[in-house]
């Protein structure tokens, strides 16, 4: 088994918020888009990332956008926060993945798919908590850590997968004593997020329901979004669709509502 110290070592590599990122996120949380853009401009790498991110086809802008004031204005508060968190994850994204067939471009596309899907869900649920709206960023961050951990025991992973039709999250639990959602919870501590966010991502596993109705409902939607996103052709090719076991009974009460929402452009 991979030791707890090894796991903590990988989690510690996740970058904390720098002063510029911390101030930017704080201003966004206060709804100060213009002030946030002015601070974000001081980080040239962040500025370049945001310009590239917002001009991806998934965001649907017909004209190229390059000014940070305009980018934050178009995205709005919650999407801008998600974009900043995605940048923090981008800093950790490996040049060479150990198990998943991903590169920086395909991983950024995955981040964008999860972010836009979660934005659609939180808008539908009239959930205005900016921290909850940013919670989806935890999933791709934990995937980076999980891939690194799988790389430590790649032969064992391949052997287990060849013998049993077992999902990667279960394999991760067996090898590390932690699953993808436990890793998410550890990252919430790193980013100083609330315990409510940790409960939501744990409920999103589909096997750790919350007694809090609101948290459990958000967990169901996140579980469906994760499965829906990882089941897209490009993510199937990357090997990501084997990550979690879809818990049909857990999400049965919202499945039709989710399907209808995802069909809306």
Tens-digit pLDDT profile for residues 224-243: 999 999 999 999 999 998 88
pLDDT band at 125 (very low <50, low <70, confident <90, very high): very high
Domain that holds residue 229: 4-17+95-263
**Per-residue confidence (pLDDT) for residue 17, from 0 to 100:** 55
pLDDT band at 108 (very low <50, low <70, confident <90, very high): confident
Residue 132 has pLDDT above 60, yes or no: yes
CA-based Rg of the chain, rounded to a whole angstrom? Answer: 18
Q: C-alpha 42: how far from its chain's center?
A: 25
Report if residue 241 sits inside a domain.
yes
DSSP assignment letter at 18: P
Report if residue 183 sits inside a domain.
yes
Cβ neighbours of residue 114 closer than 8 Å, sequence gap 6 or more: 136, 139, 140, 225, 226, 229
- Residue 184 in contact with residue 205, Cβ under 8 Å? no
Report if residue 107 sits inside a domain.
yes
Average pLDDT, the chain: 87
Report if residue 122 sits inside a domain.
yes
Report if residue 116 sits inside a domain.
yes
Greatest mean pLDDT among 60-69, 80-89, 197-206 lies in 197-206
Write down the residue that tokens 């939180």 correspond to.
122
More confident residue, 51 or 252: 252
Tokens of 4: 């707890």
Q: How many CB atoms lie within 10 A of CB 162?
A: 8
Residue 195 has pLDDT above 90, yes or no: yes
Average pLDDT over residues 88-117: 87
Phi then psi for residue 258, to 5 deg, are: -65, -45
- CA dihedral for 10, 210, 119, 189, sign (positive or negative): negative
Cβ neighbours of residue 1 closer than 8 Å, sequence gap 6 or more: 174, 175, 176, 177
Report if residue 63 sits inside a domain.
no
**Per-residue confidence (pLDDT) for residue 260, from 0 to 100:** 94
pLDDT band at 112 (very low <50, low <70, confident <90, very high): confident
Domain count, the chain: 1
Angstrom distance (rounded) from CA 239 to CA 68? 35
Tokens of 24: 């930017």
pLDDT band at 265 (very low <50, low <70, confident <90, very high): low
pLDDT band at 118 (very low <50, low <70, confident <90, very high): very high
More confident residue, 49 or 255: 255
More confident residue, 237 or 8: 237
Report if residue 79 sits inside a domain.
no
Average pLDDT over residues 31-54: 88
Angstrom distance (rounded) from CA 41 to CA 130? 22
The model's pTM is 0.81
pLDDT band at 122 (very low <50, low <70, confident <90, very high): very high
Report if residue 12 sits inside a domain.
yes
Average pLDDT over residues 39-56: 86
Residue 188 has pLDDT above 80, yes or no: yes
Residue 11 has pLDDT above 90, yes or no: no
Kindly tell me the burial class for residue 131, based on how many C-beta atoms sit within 10 Å of its own C-beta (0-12, 13-18, 19 or more).
Answer: middle
Residue 206 has pLDDT above 70, yes or no: yes
Angstrom distance (rounded) from CA 241 to CA 170? 13
CA distances from 37 to 15, 85, 234, 238 (A): 21, 15, 33, 34
């Amino acid at each position: 088994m991979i030791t707890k110290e090894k796991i903590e070592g990988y989690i510690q590599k996740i970058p904390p918020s720098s002063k510029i990122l911390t101030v930017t996120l704080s201003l966004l949380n206060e709804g100060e888009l213009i002030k946030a853009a002015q601070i974000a401009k001081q980080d040239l790498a962040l500025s370049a990332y945001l310009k590239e991110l917002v001009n991806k086809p998934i965001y649907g802008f017909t004209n190229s956008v390059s000014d940070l004031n305009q980018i934050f204005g178009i995205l709005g508060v919650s999407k801008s926060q998600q974009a900043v968190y995605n940048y923090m994850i981008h800093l950790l994204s490996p040049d060479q993945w150990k198990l998943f067939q991903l590169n920086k471009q395909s991983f950024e596309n995955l981040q964008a798919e999860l972010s836009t899907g979660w934005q659609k869900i939180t808008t539908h649920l009239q959930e205005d908590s900016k921290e909850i709206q940013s919670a989806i960023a935890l999933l791709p961050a934990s995937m980076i850590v999980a891939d690194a951990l799988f790389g430590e025991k790649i032969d064992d992973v391949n052997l287990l997968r060849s013998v049993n039709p077992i999902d990667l999250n279960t394999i991760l639990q067996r090898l590390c004593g932690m699953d993808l959602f436990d890793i998410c919870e550890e990252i919430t501590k790193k980013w100083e997020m609330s315990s409510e966010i940790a409960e939501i991502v744990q409920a999103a596993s589909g096997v750790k329901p919350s007694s809090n109705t609101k948290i459990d409902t958000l967990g169901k939607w996140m579980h469906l979004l994760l499965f829906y996103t990882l089941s897209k052709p490009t993510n199937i090719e990357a090997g990501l669709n084997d990550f979690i076991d879809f818990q049909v009974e857990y999400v049965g009460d919202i499945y039709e509502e989710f399907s209808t929402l995802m069909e809306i452009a």
